Amino acid sequence: MFTTSYQKLKQFVIRGLKWLWENKIKILKILLYFLLAVLIKLKKLLKKLFTYLWKHKKPLLKAGGYTAFFSFLIVAFLFIYYLKDIPSRDTINDLFVPESTKILDRTGTSILYDIYDEYNRTVISAEQIPPFVKYATIVAEDDNFYHHWGIDIKAIARAFLINIKGGGVIQGGSTITQQYIKNLFLTPKRTLARKVKEAILAIDIEFLYTKDEILTGYLNYVPYGHNAYGVEAASRVYFNKNAKDLTLAESAILAALPKATTYYSNNPEALKARQVYILDRMLHFGYITQDEHTKSVSETPQINAAYSSLSSPHFVIMVKQYLEQKYGAAFIQQAGLKVVTTLDKTLQDAAEKAVENYAETNVKNFNANNAALVALDPRTGQILAMIGSKNYLGNSSPEGCIPGKTCAFDPQVNITTSLQQPGSAFKPFAYAAAFRKGYTPDTIVYDIKTEFNPNCPWTAHQEKDEFGLECYHPDNYDSLQFGPISLKEALAQSRNIGSVKVLYLAGVENTIKLAQDMGIESLKDRTGYGLSLVLGGADVTLLEQTSAFGTFATRGTRNTPQFILKIEDKNGNVLEEFKQESRKVLEENIADQINYILSTNQFRTRVFGEQNYLTIGGLDIAVKTGTTQEYMDAWAVGYTPSLVAGVWVGNNNNKPMNNAPGASASAPIWNMFFKEVYANKAKESTNLKEKEFYFNLPTISDEEKFVTPDIDTTGIDVLDGQPQGHSILHLVAKDEPRKSGDSKDSPLYLNWENAVRNWLGNK
């Protein structure tokens, strides 16, 4: 047993000596650094000590020799023991620093959200840190920073005496360099091992970096509370600004926090006292003038008590989900990506203002508990604004409801990307498909009660046919019948009966194909829909519907919705960049015809009146509203050549509203948004350089006018606006209306024709 222990000890000593020899240069350098620091700081004390030793050299020689020898062994052992765990210089240089990923607006200057795991940190350069922040930190943490070699013997001795007198740990003696090392590599646990490691590496790092580099590193690492690490993150959390914009008073506040983050951030009076103490010391050391001191002492900066970095929440969450799917959640939490999005803060603010302005009014007037808005640039597909609910941070209602199921207001559900029925807002796709076939805006159909199930009587009073299938004879929302009506008026006035006839003429499959091409991707199965489709009988998202209307605005060019302009890593390398995805899906003249109809107020006045929320003075603007059965959904989607926006109003649980058509519930929000945006453009275009207006909204000029369509004369009376006393199926071939023929073989011919004859006979 003794032999085995001896062999193990021998092997241990050999390995130790071998390691000492391999690392002799590093060990000697560290010892030299330490001895130099001690000698410089204690030269006066050492001089007195050596004088005393010389006078008493004989009696002390023997004892001193033993003491020195064993002291040296102890110190050497501690250095050697702990040196093995000290990171190398290469380790320090190559150290990976976790940084938060920033989601920014389209200017790249406004932070919408910080994505991080444990550490909310943004590393910034020395030039981005104001001198006041540096000076305040030095006087608060280490006023001898520029004069020591990593450890401050005087500070340690002073802290030791104060702690002895106080009977506990009252003051620390760590330098900024030591704190930096601790934050970089070591645990916060106060042990002898950690303090020795801290001292060794502090001395070493002082030879590796300049003082300013060490201070910059410290200010990028030090915790400030509320999960903010580094002065940039702290500036955002406490003052909602960049570090470079901090005032002297704010700099002193931040410098006060690292000493006791929780205590000071939750005790305003103590924090103020600490701030004044730091300002006093800055004056004492000559870092600020008396005037600056007086002014800053009188200031008490407002701290964001309930700070939330989540701006434009539904948009941000959509971007975050995309990043997580593409790059992985763990990666983006610490990669320090810079994600410049398409969101325009000016338009986002206008959208929030419009939704908020009508939120409570809609609850009171219509029992409509929620609202959403999305806006895009139709020329690029870039999403400019997104409001997924009227208040993301609000409480679900009614109280006790089940989110995602029974809540009328479900704040965190993004309505803009959720499926809803669009009501009459779907009608323009059917009319565009009909125009493609050869029908014209002047084509006449009869807006009268009509049965669309060929197995049901034309009188439109029966509920089911002989096979048990539902008869289908929809009413207009106002229950009125206008008789012969042009397609342009039927669309502008949102006549249900006329629109179902248009869908039949255009073809359900053709209409779905066109809607899909224009951006309605939710319509997967073209065979699963009937004639009720044109009245909103399919589920679509507000984002899809709004984007598809943008295809009309661009005269038939489909631009895929996008929300990323650029993604860079923390070194400035571009990972991805906006690339427009465009394709022509609709003939220009057909898009022009839809724009002409939806932007001409006189076509809709019989129903909506001269003064309505669908017009905005001075703007050539097209708009279509939509209302579903029992008022479950109210829509308004409209556009100029350079901006398209859609609004939805309703209840998350599909509970019916109280008599809330789109023109009354959604259109006011849509109208206010457009007015605000173009009013801002008119003001900003007069005093800003073009490059400073990030969303390039043209001034109100020919560029913001729709192109006048070519509406040719076909030579066929019913297509040229002349009623002929018959249904259109009696007068033209349904699928080739500009060729001679009729549609008497259509299964709906008798129902349509008999209804017209009956209406004319009763007139």
Q: Which residues form the catalytic set? A: 141, 424
Q: Name the burial class of residue 577, with classes exposed (0-12), middle (13-18) and buried (19+) by CB atoms within 10 angstroms of its CB.
A: exposed
Length of the chain: 763
Helix axes 131-141 and 268-284, enclosed angle (nearest 10): 100
Instruction: State how far the Cα of 624 lies from the Cα of 636, in Å rounded to an integer.
Output: 6
Q: Name the burial class of residue 57, with classes exposed (0-12), middle (13-18) and buried (19+) by CB atoms within 10 angstroms of its CB.
A: exposed
Residue among 417, 373, 409, 415 nearest 393 (CA): 409
Instruction: State how far the Cα of 113 lies from the Cα of 316, in Å rounded to an integer.
Output: 7
Instruction: State how far the Cα of 147 lies from the Cα of 97, in Å rounded to an integer.
Output: 28
The SS3 call for residue 119 is coil
Residue among 482, 472, 448 nearest 533 (CA): 472
Q: Name the burial class of residue 399, with classes exposed (0-12), middle (13-18) and buried (19+) by CB atoms within 10 angstroms of its CB.
A: exposed
Instruction: State how far the Cα of 663 lies from the Cα of 598, in Å rounded to an integer.
Output: 14
Neighbours of 131 (CB within 10 A): 11
Residue among 353, 369, 349, 352 nearest 361 (CA): 369
Q: Which residue has the tokens 């629109």?
A: 499
- The helix (run of H) or strand (run of E) holding residue 350 is helix 345-366
Neighbours of 484 (CB within 10 A): 20
Query: In the numeric block, which tokens belong to residue 514?
Result: 């066109």
Instruction: State how far the Cα of 182 lies from the Cα of 657, in Å rounded to an integer.
Output: 61
Residue 249 vs residues 189, 266, 294, 600: alpha-carbon distances, Å: 32, 18, 10, 58
Helices (H), 375-495: 427-437, 487-492
The SS3 call for residue 52 is helix
Instruction: State how far the Cα of 347 lies from the Cα of 360, in Å rounded to an integer.
Output: 21
Instruction: State how far the Cα of 472 lies from the Cα of 456, in Å rounded to an integer.
Output: 8
Q: Which residue has the tokens 């000596």?
A: 17
Sign of CA dihedral 446, 448, 451, 457: negative
- Tell me which amino acid residue 696 is: N
Report the Cα 35 to chain-centroid distance in Å: 55
The answer to whether 347 and 677 are in contact (CB under 8 A) is: yes
Instruction: State how far the Cα of 271 lies from the Cα of 252, in Å rounded to an integer.
Output: 10
> What distance, in Å, lies between the first and last C-alpha atoms of the chain?
122
Instruction: State how far the Cα of 471 lies from the Cα of 462, in Å rounded to an integer.
Output: 7
Residue among 451, 453, 458, 457 nearest 469 (CA): 453
Query: In the numeric block, which tokens belong to residue 387?
Result: 């409001």
Report the Cα 96 to chain-centroid distance in Å: 26
Residue among 425, 457, 458, 462 nearest 627 (CA): 425
Peptide bond into 484 cis (omega under 30): no
Instruction: State how far the Cα of 752 lies from the Cα of 460, in Å rounded to an integer.
Output: 11
Question: How do beta strands 338-341 and 101-104 pair?
Answer: parallel
Sign of CA dihedral 407, 345, 669, 424: negative
The answer to whether 392 and 412 are in contact (CB under 8 A) is: yes
Instruction: State how far the Cα of 627 lies from the Cα of 633, in Å rounded to an integer.
Output: 6
